Structure 1
Amino acid sequence: MIGEVIVIGDLKMRDGASVEEHDRLGARMYDLVSRMPGFLSIKSFKADDGEEVTVFRFASEAALEAWRTHPEHVETMRRGHAEFYDSGFLQICKVIREVGPFAHD
């Protein structure tokens, strides 16, 4: 969809970080974001070398901004940087063209 915003994230866990707490917060964040207007989807992919990439899709920049500034998400991001993640990146991309869907008979 033209105007859709894609966020690609690759975050590396810190040695000794609590996986249980990370997963608990992740489930809570998914519960919140999945009920927000303009949220479309989230999917994670793991490569053979262990790298994991997550792709978030939002209908618009406004929908992403509402999520980015949600108070509980802001606090969880702060905790992520302080407690869970050693390194990583997020790339925010805007869809400028879409081709498809393709169908075969």
Structure 2
Amino acid sequence: MTRNRITPVEAYEPPYYAAVFTTVRTQGPSGYGETDARMEELVKDIPGYLGMDHTQTPGGLGIAVGYFRDADALTEWRTNAEHEHRVAQKRGQAQWYESCTPHVAKVERSHGFVRARDPRSPTAG
């Protein structure tokens, strides 16, 4: 059996920016998955984009954190030249979210570790 390994975004050398979005989803969000996948595809093309972590609880609470090298990269994403991000935001307000709260922070300290894995483990690799 193959398992997907969960890998968070690595710790980068500060300073950089984190855009944290906490959301509560509505029931039956039609088209959400496709739009979410498209937004992840678009943000990867932004110079200075570092990665994204996200999670969703069964009850509908979502947390997504996008990491950006500088404020210009974050601004580029927020104002996305293709305007698809703006369209997605409006659709989210109208259909997909009961609430959405964005937080933007400058990261001043960052560190991390990865536990060494036993290469003999059946889940290694």
Please give the residue correspondences for 1:37-52 in structure 2 after superposition, counting only pairs within 5 Å. Answer: 37-46=47-56, 51-52=61-62
- Superposed CA deviations along residues 22-44 of structure 1, whole A, max 9, x for unmatched, are 01000011110012111111111
| Alpha-carbon RMSD | 2.4
Moved over 6 A (4+): none
Q: Residues 76 and 47 from structure 1, CA distance in 2 versus in 1: closer, same or farther, beyond 3 angstroms?
A: closer
Deviation at 1:50, TM superposition (A): 6.2
Q: Residues 14 and 103 from structure 1, CA distance in 2 versus in 1: closer, same or farther, beyond 3 angstroms?
A: closer
Q: Which residue of 2 aligns with 1:69?
A: 79
Structure with the bigger percentage of helix: 1
Q: Which residue of 1 aligns with 2:35?
A: 25
Corresponding pairs, count: 102
Unpaired runs of 5+ residues, structure 1, are none
Between structure 1 and structure 2, the one with the greater Rg is 2
SS at match of 1:78: helix
Which structure has more relative contact order (CA 8 Å, sep 6+)? It is 1
Unpaired runs of 5+ residues, structure 2, are 1-12, 116-125
Partner Cα separation in structure 1 for residue 58 and residue 35 of structure 2: 26
Please give the residue correspondences for 1:1-105 in structure 2 after superposition, counting only pairs within 5 Å. Answer: 1-18=13-30, 21-46=31-56, 51-70=61-80, 71-98=83-110, 100=111
So what's the TM-score if we normalise by structure 2? 0.70
Q: Percent identity?
A: 29
Q: Residues 58 and 50 from structure 1, CA distance in 2 versus in 1: closer, same or farther, beyond 3 angstroms?
A: same
So what's the TM-score if we normalise by structure 1? 0.81
